[in-house]
Amino acid sequence: MEIGGFDSQIIQDFLTESGELLEQLEGDLVTLEQACDDLDLINTIFRALHTIKGSASFLALTPLVAIAHASETTLNAARSGQLAITPSVMDDLLAAIDALRTQFDELNKGTTNLTEADPKLVKRLTDLGSGTIAEFEDDAATATSAQSVVSAGGITVEPLNLPDNKAALLEFLVADVQQSIGHLRDLAKKLDGGDEAAFNELAGIASELCKAVDFFDFQDMADLAHAIQEAGENGVQNLSAAFDQFIPRFHTSLHILDDQAKALAEGRRHVWNVQTLCERIQTLVDGVALPEDAILPEGASIDLTLRVDELIPDSTDPQAEPAATPSTQIAADAGSPDEAQPVEDASDESNPKPASGKKTEAKDAAGKPVVEQTVRVEVGRLETLMNLVGELVLQKNRIGALARQADDALKGAANDELSEHLLTSSAALDRVAGDIQVAVMRTRMQPLDKLFGKYPRLIRDLAGKTGKKIKLVVEGGDTEVDKSVIEELGDPLVHILRNSADHGVEMPDVRKAAGKPEEGTIRLTASHEGSFVQVVIADDGKGLDRAVIGAKAVERGLTTEAELATKTDSEIFRYIFEAGFSTATQVSDLSGRGVGMDVVRTNIEKLKGTITIDSEKGQGTTLTIAIPLTIAIMQAMMVRVGPERYAVPLSNIVEIVRPTPEQLTTIREHPVMRLRNDVLPLIQANTIFDVPQERREEAPFAVVLQSGHRRLGLMVSELIGQREIVVKPLGDMHDAPSAVSGATVREDGGVSLIVDVIELFRIAKGRGF
């Protein structure tokens, strides 16, 4: 696949990187709505959009650039304080994100012709930001008057020849450059006013400028922009010391860039000889003294700077400093390292990295977070690695067993030293293999933020639709879980949150009448609890009604009035996880709770997790989900069924009993077992797993399994013991529904199948239980 002359790999990289930014953007935008004046956040959002736009313009994805640019314009107005982020502005911004996402989806499908975003939206966004644009026009006007002073010579004017794909984006990019220049001018003003703290913002703004300038691939512009960026990243300390030498050059650089941007806008190209200027800025950044002939008098004008830095011919010499004699110049050079030394020392104290550090260093000078060092790896490779590690662990166990055998066999023999070494070595192998296993598992872990980031938008939209006021508080998004868990957890969480917003949180007037704050709160919290991750979704809505749910459960024949009285609230609330418990008519009775909650429960159980529910009428509902960190490894009870060994997930096992003949009976010809107050359907593992008749054995043990509030007994021949097993998928190689969900490799190298508990319950249900 080729898109606009770029191969699919570049597009793919763009999608991956920008896709992540887009997700982040959405979450940040919703957060921004709550904290309109958070300038840092606006800047973060702005930068993310800007990066997307920059990459998109490199790929000549014009429709994408158009909408990104429009949103950026709006945000720019917001960040300069000219525009308040009202809900309607936010709606437009979110609509823009949706448009971007549509375009991303199209790219993903390999389409080149991206859908243009709604022109009305683009116009609205552009209009919202127009205040800012006007400001730049003012700036441009003053700059023009300044320019007339120096346009006499030194620059070469060339016609502008851009390839079509770039030409289409020229307008945007020029606007970008001018916008960045505008910001830099503001910064320069602050610096002029003696506010040296403004230096800290330099790197951030300069890097935006660089991105815009890099697009054109014009050497002089790029050199200049990068020189400024370098100054912002690495030169803050040194530049404070050489303030009077840097500031005029900074103004001059902006002047040149502005001139070039304006020329570009008019379809011309102004080439400036910026080499000397860039070199001198770099010298200042490095904390080295300038040669004497390059030293500017205090308050030097742009015109003078242009002359001194050889940007225009030095026809009217007298204004410049008298040229240094060769001898003094040498003296200055020789002295420079010494002079520079104290400056560098000073910078070392406040900042651990050398002030003359190179560009590759993290940009913490500008107060930005240090970028994490990451490598993208295909999931397939990690899976291969996991497989190999599983095999390694297996072989390690075998060697351990063999070493112990050898130790026993060689006890007292002449060479028992050998077996001792073998034992020591196998113990070391054991540790290393264990560590590798943990390390590999960790590579598959991802923060839950990947999911949680999407939910503020979900809640915002739901609140908008229902007219409720809802605040979503997210905590613990940095909790890491296995990638597969993230994938499986998404849907259930959406379901639960939707339920909480839809049916849990009341309308503002109802809440007010009940003496609660008008704005409802849904709290989404994640935390590690041992080898489990716990996700709690709590709302302060109207809660569940025990009486109503209990009555419904009796009506549906799930329980009896007598039993109901003995049950705890939690046990009764569990009925909402029953399939079909909340049909349309019941929704109103049950205040709607429970729509699709059986799906939630099934998904959580698939992850070998549990879900519990607590609620207090009028106070709210709390759902607690506990899921193993990974579903690749789980705790299981190994059981024997005739000659075969099966693994039963421990998370589903309630207890294991050996029923007496009195406990066993049948209902409608199906075997059941009485266990205390319950009657459990029994499933013969021999039958369900088709064990050949001649190899069947008695199965006296009942493994009591639970799914939702249902229980059943699986009859097996023998209990072998609890094991930690590595789950390997088996897929569906059966015609009939089968109660096997996967396979695992045992310590002895053989394969055991894993019992699919959910399927067992389905089978039991098919029999009328």
Partner 1 sequence: MTSMMSQPMTEGRLVDESLQLVTFEVASEEFAVDILAVHEINRMMELTRVPQAPREIEGVINLRGKIIPVMDLRKRFGLPHRERDEQTRIIVVEVSSRVIGFIVDRVRQVLPISRSIVEPAPDMVATIDSQFISGVGKLPDRLLILLDLDRLLNGALMDSVDKLADSTGTN
Q: Point out which span in 77-85, 327-335, 387-395, 404-412 binds partner 1 (CB under 8 A).
A: 387-395
* Shortest distance, position 458 Cβ to partner 1, whole Å: 31
Residue 637 per-residue DSSP state: E
387 binds partner 1 (CB under 8 A): yes
Q: Binding pattern to partner 1, positions 624-663, x when CB under 8 A?
A: --------------------x-------------------
| Between 48 and 740, CB nearer to partner 1 | 740
Which three-class secondary structure string do you get for 523-539? EEEEEEECCEEEEEEEE
Please give the biggest Cα pair distance in the chain: 117
Task: Kindly indicate which of the ranges 68-76, 88-96, 479-487, 722-730 contains the residues binding partner 1, using the contact rule CB under 8 A.
Answer: 722-730
Residues 705, 39: Cα–Cα separation, whole Å? 54
488 binds partner 1 (CB under 8 A): no
Query: Is the separation of the CB atoms in 730 and 744 below 8 Å?
Result: no
For position 745 contacting partner 1 by CB under 8 A, the verdict is yes
Phi/psi of residue 654, each to 5°?
-90, -50
Pick one of 402, 464, 751, 765: the residue that binds partner 1 (CB under 8 A): 751
Tell me which amino acid residue 656 is: I
Q: Which of 4, 337, 367, 749 binds partner 1 (CB under 8 A)?
A: 749
Q: By CB under 8 A, is residue 388 in contact with partner 1?
A: yes
Least separation in angstroms between residue 391's CB and partner 1 is 4
Residue number with CB closer to partner 1 (303 or 756)? 756
Q: Which stretch binds partner 1 (CB under 8 A): 9-17, 515-523, 532-540, 740-748?
A: 740-748
Produce one character per residue of 484-510: b if its CB has 16 or more CB atoms within 10 Å, e if not.
Answer: ebbebbeebbebbbbbbbbbbbbebee
Smallest separation (angstroms) from partner 1 to the CB of 609: 21
How far is residue 756's CA from residue 742's CA, in Å, rounded to a whole number? 8
Which residues in 86-97 are b (16+ Cβ under 10 Å) and which e?
A: eeebbbbbbbbb
Binding status of residue 750 toward partner 1 by CB under 8 A: yes
647, β-bridge pairs? 638, 754
Cβ-based nearer residue to partner 1, 107 or 739: 739
Please report how close the Cβ of residue 225 comes to partner 1 at its closest, in angstroms: 48
Total residues belonging to the chain? 769
Q: Is 752 in the site for partner 1 (CB under 8 A)?
A: yes
CB neighbourhood size of 260 (10 A): 26
Bridge partners of 614, per DSSP, are: 622
144 binds partner 1 (CB under 8 A): no
> Which whole-number Å values give the CA distances from 39 to 231, 564, 722, in the listed order?
23, 56, 55
Answer for which of 10, 346, 441, 730 binds partner 1 (CB under 8 A) is 730
Binding part of the chain for partner 1, among 200-208, 264-272, 364-372, 731-739 by CB under 8 A, reads 731-739
Among 734, 762, 765, 767, binds partner 1 (CB under 8 A): 734
From 650, 599, 356, select the one nearest 496 (Cα to Cα): 599
- Stretch in the footprint of partner 1 (CB under 8 A) among 121-129, 172-180, 181-189, 379-387: 379-387
Stretch that binds partner 1, among 495-503, 587-595, 700-708, 738-746 (CB under 8 A): 738-746
Among 70, 75, 740, 758, binds partner 1 (CB under 8 A): 740
> In angstroms, rounded to a whole number, what is the distance separating the alpha carbons of residues 64 and 420?
68
| Backbone CA torsion sign across 578, 580, 585, 588 | positive
Q: Is residue 766 a contact point for partner 1 (CB under 8 A)?
A: no
Question: Binding partner 1 by CB under 8 A: which of 390, 681, 708, 713?
Answer: 390
3-state secondary structure 36-49: CCCHHHHHHHHHHH
Q: Examine residue 739 and tell whether it contacts partner 1 (CB under 8 A).
A: yes
Touching partner 1, residues 690-719 (CB under 8 A): 690
**Minimum distance of partner 1 from residue 651's CB (angstroms):** 21
The correct pick among 743, 754, 757, 758 for binding partner 1 (CB under 8 A) is 743
Task: Please report, as residue ranges, which positions from 661 to 690 form the binding site for partner 1 (by CB under 8 A).
Answer: 688-690
Distance CA 89, CA 466 (A): 20
Q: Which lies closer to partner 1 via its Cβ, residue 173 or residue 753?
A: 753
User: In sequence order, what are the residues at sequence separation of 6 or more whose Cβ sits closer than 8 angstroms to the Cβ of residue 655?
Assistant: 704
Q: How many beta carbons lie within 10 A of that of residue 146, not counting itself?
A: 16
Which of 249, 242, 244 has its CA nearest to residue 224? 249
Name the DSSP class of 364.
Answer: G
- Is residue 735 a contact residue for partner 1 (CB under 8 A)? yes
Q: Is position 733 an interface residue for partner 1 (rule: CB under 8 A)?
A: yes
Kindly state whether residue 384 participates in binding partner 1, applying the rule CB under 8 A: yes
Which residues are at the interface with partner 1 (CB under 8 A)? 380, 383-384, 387-388, 390-391, 394, 644, 688-690, 728-740, 743, 745, 749-753
